Amino acid sequence: MARYFLCGAGVQSTDQIRERYEDAVRYLERVADGKVSLGKMPDGQVIQQTSSGARFQSSGRAFDRDATGGGAF
């Protein structure tokens, strides 16, 4: 959404930026209407993770103090 609002004044907006903004607005409208859950039930109970949940794995840091000599790039 921020990318959409930053377009203009020399930055060209594309159809993809507009479509993603509109998708985000529709998603937030569904959240506001209670049609989409953000992880809690209406009574406040947290929804438990299922065994088919997403997993994230990293191969480690690419840039750390040792790799950059202790500072920024």
**Whole-angstrom Cα distance, residue 22 to residue 16?**
10
Report the chain's terminal Cα–Cα distance, integer Å.
29
Structural domain that includes position 21? 2-32
Residues β-bridged to residue 8: 11
Is 72 a domain residue?
A: no
Q: What is the DSSP string of 47-61?
A: PPPPTT---------
Q: Check pLDDT > 80 for residue 46.
A: no
Per-residue pLDDT reduced to its tens digit, 12-43:
778 888 899 999 999 999 988 888 877 777 77
In a domain, 12, yes or no: yes
Determine, yes or no, domain membership for 25. yes
Q: Decide if 44 is inside a domain.
A: no
- pTM over 0.75, yes/no: no
The answer to the question of residue 50 being in a domain is no
pLDDT at position 66 is: 78
pLDDT at 72: 64
